[in-house]
Amino acid sequence: MQYLERAKLGLVKLNVNGRDVEIGDDYADGSLLWALRDGAGLCGTKFGCGVGICGSCTVHVDGRPARSCLVPVAAVADAEITTIEALAGENGELHEVLRAFIEEQVPQCAWCMNGQIMTAVAFLRATPDPDEDEIAAALDANYCRCGCYARIRRAVARAAKALRGRSDD
């Protein structure tokens, strides 16, 4: 109901990366993917298949990975949404998963990388000390047309180690 009241004013307010973001209500009946990309100008979230298969559009909704091409804007009006832009701090500091993907030189075309990285961040939060099979299973539903799977898994393992090192500090 709160959402509908906002929409009548011509703007929809979403909580994205810890901030209130206002988007035009022409996005209100669409998917979160386009509200983020076109409405909020957060283009780190990628459009791949548009039907929930490839994973390139993955964001976090209340901390859990979600395929934003399938998420109606109305369903997340009161949720906390996190996009890949939140993984780089204003002072240029990068999240360990981003850093690991760079250090392992993972991307080829990079189109799938948003989904791989956002899935990995949520996975490592829940599973800080994964083995190789757990990493492979966690990323199994994120497709990479360039076939960078071995480097993706190496980067996730590297990030896990780095994050564990930080928590031991």
Closer by beta carbon to ligand FES, 12 or else 33: 33
User: How many whole angstroms separate alpha carbon 77 and alpha carbon 147?
Assistant: 36
Phi and psi dihedrals of 109, rounded to 5?
-80, -25
Q: Pick from 14, 16, 57, 118 the residue near ligand FES by CB under 6 A.
A: 57
Under the binding rule (CB under 6 A), the answer on residue 15 touching ligand FES is no
Under the binding rule (CB under 6 A), the answer on residue 135 touching ligand FES is no
Q: Which residues contact 29 (CB under 8 A, 6 or more apart)?
A: 72, 73, 74
Under the binding rule (CB under 6 A), the answer on residue 144 touching ligand FES is yes
Under the binding rule (CB under 6 A), the answer on residue 44 touching ligand FES is no
Q: Which stretch binds ligand FES (CB under 6 A): 12-20, 37-45, 138-146, 157-165?
A: 138-146
Under the binding rule (CB under 6 A), the answer on residue 126 touching ligand FES is no
User: How many whole angstroms separate alpha carbon 89 and alpha carbon 55?
Assistant: 24
Under the binding rule (CB under 6 A), the answer on residue 52 touching ligand FES is yes
User: How many whole angstroms separate alpha carbon 5 and alpha carbon 124?
Assistant: 38
- E strands, 6-151, in order: 11-16, 19-24, 58-61, 64-67, 80-82
Q: In DSSP terms, which residues pair with 15 in a beta bridge?
A: 20, 80
Under the binding rule (CB under 6 A), the answer on residue 75 touching ligand FES is no
Q: Which stretch binds ligand FES (CB under 6 A): 7-15, 109-117, 124-132, 153-161?
A: 109-117
Q: In DSSP terms, which residues pair with 11 in a beta bridge?
A: 24
- Applying CB under 6 A, the residues found at the interface with ligand FES are 47-50, 52-57, 67, 69, 107-112, 144-146, 148
